[in-house]
A = this chain, B = another copy of it.
Amino acid sequence: MFESAEIGHKLSKDEYKKIVPKLRADLLDAQFELSKNGKFPVIILISGVRGAGKGETVNLLNEWMDPRNIHTHAFDNPSDEERERPPMWRFWRALPPKGRIGMLFGSWYTAPIIDRVFKRTDAKAMLNSIEEINHFEAMLAGEGALVLKFWFHLSEKQQKKRLRALQSDPETSWRVTDRDWDFFKKYRRFYEISEETLRRTSTANAPWIVVEGANPEYRSVTVARTLLDAMRKRLKAAAAHTPTAAIAAAPITRPVDQANVLKGMDLNQKIDKKAFDKRIDKMQRRLALATRDPKFAGRNVVCVFEGMDAAGKGGAIRRVTAALDSRLYHTIPVAAPTDEERAQPYLWRFWRHIPRKGRFTIYDRSWYGRVLVERVEGFCSEADWMRAYSEINDFEEQLAENGAIIAKFWLQISKQEQLRRFKEREKTRFKQFKITEEDWRNRGKWDAYQDAAADMIERTSTNVAPWTLIEANDKYHARVKVLETLVRLIEG
C-alpha cells in the first residue's frame, strides 16, 4: 500500500502558488455548503509516521478553511473518566456533529497498531481490533458520515532525514523526542503492521488515502483536493433526489408456523403478595450488599428495560433502584432526542450515559427503539434498522469487554392484560398522565410490535448480553424475576 508513496511525489512551489488560491476558495465554499446543508459530518483521520507533516497539514487546512467549523482533537493518554469506559467512548464523545468537520489525530487505529508493534498484543487480538474498527466505520458510513482516512507516509530514508532535519533546527528540535527514535528503530515492523492494518480496513465506505509526506506542497494539495472532491461529491448527492436506500438482504419473514419466543411464554406465572414481599425483600438486600462489595467498584452495570406499553417497566425499575444507593445509579428515560443528539449517530445518545466503574445506568427504553418503534413506525429505513442488530451487538460487546454487566429485560404482557391496565390507569389519579393517544395507537399495531420484538430478541441475545424474558401479567412475578436475574448477574 505504501509503494506509490515512496516514488518522490513533488509539486513545485510555482505550481503550488498557482493552484492554492482557487483551492482555498473552493474549500471555503464547500465548507459553507456543508454547514448550510447540515446533513452529514466529515470525519478526517490523520495518521501515519512521525515527521510526515501531519500536524503541518492540519494546521494549514485550519488556515485555509473556516477554523470555527472544524473540531480538531488530539488523543493523548486517556483521562481517568475515559479509562473507566470502553476504549471507543473517547472517540464517540469527539465525533463532530452534522454539518461540521472533525479532524482526529491519533484515532482508533493508534492503540491497536502500537500495541501490536511492541508485541503487547498478538495477531489474533489485532484481527479482532480490525474487525471492530471495520464495524464501527461501517456504522459511521451507514449514519451518513463522510469518513476520510489519511495516512502520511515516509520511506525509512526519508523519515530519518526528516527527523534529523527537525532535530538540527533549534526552532523545531523540541519536536523530536527519544520516543520518536525508539519508534524509528522499529520502522520495518511499523511498516508491516501498518500495511496490514490499512489493507484490512480499506473499505468501500472508508478507504485509506496514503499520502507521501516528504514534499510539503505535494502533500498539502493532495489532502486538500481529496477533501474538496469528497465533500463536493457528497454534497451533490445530498442535493439530488435520494431514493430510499435499497437493501439487498432477504427480508425478515415470519416463521411459517407463527411461533416465536414470545408466544411460547407462560404469562400466567404468578406469586402471591406474601411470597412477593419475602422474596423481593431478600433480593433487594442481596443487591444492596453486592453493590457494596469492594469487587463491585471495578465493574459497571448497564440495565435495559423494554416491553410493551404498560408492561410494568417503571415499577420494575423502582424495585431495583429502591435497593441501590441513589448516588450509584442514573436512570435514563428515553424520550425524543435533543438537537445535539440528532446531529450524531443514533447510538451516541446512549454512549454518552455509559456509567463509570462502580455505577449503574438504567435505560428505560433504549437503543432497541431502533428495531422496535423506529422499525414499526417507519421512522428509519429498512436498511437502517437491519444494520442496527449488528451495531447493537458490537456496542454491547464493547461494554462487556470493558467489564460491564449487561442486563436486558423484555417485559411481556398479553394483549388483554394491556387493555385492563390501560383502563385501570385512566381511572387512577396518579397514573392518569401515563396513558396517551399514542399508547392507544401503538396498541393497534400489537402484532407488528410483537414481531419486531421477537426478531430483536432472536438477533441480539448474545452470550455477553442475553435477553431475559419476563412474564409480566403478574407484577409480583415480574419484579421478583427481574431482581433475581440482576442479583445473579452481579453476584457472578
Q: Residues of A with Cβ closer than 8 Å to B?
A: 25, 28-29, 32, 55, 58-59, 62-63, 66-74, 79-81, 103, 105, 171, 174, 285, 289, 292, 314, 317-318, 321-322, 324-327, 329-333, 338-340, 364, 429-430, 433
Are B25 and A321 neighbours in the complex by a CB distance under 8 Å?
no
A-B contact pairs, 22 of them (CB 8 A): A28-B430, A55-B327, A63-B318, A66-B314, A67-B317, A67-B318, A68-B314, A68-B317, A68-B331, A69-B333, A70-B331, A71-B330, A72-B330, A74-B327, A80-B81, A81-B81, A103-B326, A105-B327, A171-B285, A171-B289, A338-B339, A338-B340
Are A63 and B322 neighbours in the complex by a CB distance under 8 Å?
yes
List B contacts of A67 (CB < 8 A). 317-318, 321, 326, 331
Are B174 and A321 neighbours in the complex by a CB distance under 8 Å?
no
Given the known interface contacts A338-B339, A430-B28, the answer about A326 and B68 at a Cβ–Cβ threshold of 8 Å is: no
Are B55 and A325 neighbours in the complex by a CB distance under 8 Å?
yes
Are B58 and A326 neighbours in the complex by a CB distance under 8 Å?
yes
Given the known interface contacts A318-B67, A321-B63, A325-B55, the answer about A29 and B330 at a Cβ–Cβ threshold of 8 Å is: no
| Cross-interface CB contact of A327 among B29, B72, B171, cutoff 8 Å | B72
State the copy count for this chain: 2
Q: How far is the CB of A475 from chain B (nearest CB, A)?
A: 16
List B contacts of A28 (CB < 8 A). 430
Chain B residue at minimal CB-CB distance from A434: B32
List B contacts of A81 (CB < 8 A). 79-81
Q: How far is the CB of A312 from chain B (nearest CB, A)?
A: 14
Q: How far is the CB of A357 from chain B (nearest CB, A)?
A: 12
| Cross-interface CB contact of A68 among B59, B62, B364, cutoff 8 Å | B364
